[in-house]
Structure 1
């Protein structure tokens, strides 16, 4: 009997000791929820709901009257078939590919060259690197407007500079030529994206030990051999991340093209983002515009998957 009473009293004492611990755990859980729940509410309201609505709209005949009646009949793949058979679609895809590839190649090459240059120690190194971040920090609407002025046919700075340097004999119609408009917006986007590539690649270069280069120099390796056999292989994880993020950003570029050329003339600089905007807000074909947006989402998801693989592979090799 005494043993039973002893066990009962010790269990009661243990329960009394556990009560404050459970209360602390509950308070900790409520505090954690106070931080997590607002984030999830924000994500659901501003990311998940618009994404789901856009995907659903791509399969509906959504018109202006749908905003008032709430009726948008399900049409299956009709919107996708409509944009597939649109004569503008093929040229728009080609423009998007040219714009994306041209931007990525030059952004990466110039960014890597600048990162390699700033890896050296010289006076005002930090000041110059900071100044090169200005294109990245400026609002894209401001950058696009300034470049539009610079590309003007007669009074633009670009043409005047090229004429004074005797590189051209007559002004180039950057904004009104169907052959040059895509080149113009690509140049602007390259200018905007170089700082991002430079900063990320510069960080990757800083992580490469200097002793590796010194050992290669002692072995007689030239500058080109050090670059191709040391820098590029060791920079591969960072390169994959930079290229993937650059692809995701460039495919969805809208404001630069809209400010500089509005996709013209004659849709010569129109990409998928401008095409989707035109369908939704100019032609009021909301279902087709949503279908174009869904295609862009699919492309972004593919590139995001590549990005995650690029991030995880180095971690896997390090284990």
Structure 2
């Protein structure tokens, strides 16, 4: 009964969709303030409140910059994944859960035998879309780190921007863009081929 109504469901769904409603630049700038070493909320909670770390780490420079980038990217992409999964769950007939419950299946068995197999086609598309969006993302690392990202979070989108609009080497920037397109097309083709073979094997 994954879609049964419960008290506060509307408020919970609205909270999940907040990252999707906020402008990207405003949201990432807010995260950059939260990741500040001395005055940021992240270090205040981890070090001063929870005492999980002895010293306040740098999040926007050094090796921790990739962790900060992943956190912001996941937070920003989560609402789309949430909406997609909710749409997939609504397409699962409730009769399947009712029949399995009558046969003695528990909640975890229903999730493993009904929910996850029914969501497999949705998850396959969702993983591909999120991969393409994340790989092509420029706004998040640019707003979070500026024109020159730390080495740990130095993405190819930043390299293309630097080559094209910082050093004015449009030839290199264009070549990198074409190679990125070919790489994404190759990954997409291989992924679709493997998922189609798995569907045929399951069938």
Matches within 5 A, 1:120-159: 120-159=4-43
Q: Does the 8 A contact of 2:141 with 2:149 survive in 1?
A: no
Aligned to 1:168: 53
TM-score (norm 2): 0.86
Aligned to 1:231: 115
Q: Partners of 2:119 and 2:183 in 1: how far apart?
A: 25
Matches within 5 A, 1:1-319: 119-163=3-47, 164-176=49-61, 178-262=62-146, 263-265=148-150, 267-302=151-186, 305=189
SS at match of 2:134: helix
Q: Partners of 1:141 and 1:234 in 2: how far apart?
A: 36
Q: Partners of 1:181 and 1:187 in 2: how far apart?
A: 10
Q: Partners of 2:40 and 2:171 in 1: how far apart?
A: 40
| Structure 1 segments unaligned to the other structure (5+ residues) | 1-115
Change (3 A) 1:276 1:204: same
Q: Partners of 2:115 and 2:64 in 1: how far apart?
A: 36
Question: 1:121-178 CA deviation, whole Å, 9 max, x = no partner?
Answer: 21221222123212112221111100000000010001101121122222121012x2
Cα deviation, residue 301, structure 1: 3.0
Q: Does the 8 A contact of 1:244 with 1:306 survive in 2?
A: no
Taking only aligned residues, the RMSD between alpha carbons, in angstroms, comes to: 2.4
Cα deviation, residue 299, structure 1: 3.3
Q: Does the 8 A contact of 2:149 with 2:158 survive in 1?
A: no
SS at match of 2:153: coil
Q: Does the 8 A contact of 1:179 with 1:268 survive in 2?
A: yes
The number of aligned residues is: 195
Change (3 A) 1:309 1:133: farther
Q: Partners of 1:252 and 1:307 in 2: how far apart?
A: 17
Higher relative contact order, structure no. (Cα contacts within 8 Å, ≥ 6 residues apart): 1
SS at match of 1:235: helix
Q: Does the 8 A contact of 1:244 with 1:303 survive in 2?
A: no
| Structure 2 segments unaligned to the other structure (5+ residues) | none
